[in-house]
Amino acid sequence: MIPTCIDQGLLLERAGVLLPWKSTKEDLMALYSPRIVESDQKFMKIFYESELIFEGLESQISIDFRPRSRFTSFEVFTLNSSLNARQEFRRVYEHLAQVFGETKIDLALGELPYASWQTKFYSLQYFVFERFGEYCVLNFQRKRIASQSTK
């Protein structure tokens, strides 16, 4: 059961706020105040912390903006302090499979679990990443459709 509003944007379920695709950073900040983590003239990273997305997945959402960019992708970090990264991967994968459907789990770099969902409208990758320890990352990218106008 794919979230019904995913074609319109990302629904922050706890806040009850829809972040529309192709919004500017100013638009998103006016809709719902994020925690700005990093900002200079060429780059801004904003976070929405302790939010629910995709039918109840507890998450921290990160959105990167560069000059004149618009909201078309985001990263999600999940955290369950009682689980290691591989256990967390399995827990979140099972949730995503309920929402987006089953997909195959591969091993990236020979041993790190990786799963991907691809449709005409979006690309979702979920994986365990290792840098000074293992952690889970979900990347969601809204695909550009040929008939869409470029604002």
In the chain, DSSP assigns E strands to: 9-12, 17-20, 35-39, 44-53, 57-65, 73-77, 105-108, 112-118, 122-130, 134-142
**Average pLDDT for residues 90-118, to the nearest whole number?**
89
CA–CA dist 36, 128 (Å, integer): 25
pLDDT band at 20 (very low <50, low <70, confident <90, very high): very high
Of the two residues 66 and 149, the one the predictor is more confident about is 66
**Average pLDDT for residues 107-131, to the nearest whole number?**
87
pLDDT band at 4 (very low <50, low <70, confident <90, very high): low
Q: What is the pLDDT of residue 7?
A: 85
Q: Has residue 129 got a pLDDT over 80?
A: yes
**Average pLDDT for residues 130-143, to the nearest whole number?**
89
| Secondary structure of residue 68 in the 3-state scheme | coil
Query: Which phi and psi (to 5°) does residue 27 adopt?
Result: -60, -45
Instruction: List pLDDT tens digits, range 22-72.
Output: 999 889 988 888 887 777 878 888 999 889 999 999 999 999 998 888 999
- HSE-CB at 136 with a 13 A cutoff on CA atoms is 25
Mean pLDDT of the chain: 86
Above pLDDT 90, what percent of the chain? 50
Q: What is the number of other CB atoms lying within 10 angstroms of the CB of residue 32?
A: 14
CA–CA dist 33, 98 (Å, integer): 30
Whole-model pTM: value is: 0.84
Q: What is the pLDDT of residue 150?
A: 47
Token couple for 147: 């008939």
Q: Has residue 147 got a pLDDT over 80?
A: no
Q: What is the pLDDT of residue 3?
A: 66
Q: What is the pLDDT of residue 78?
A: 82
CA–CA dist 55, 3 (Å, integer): 7
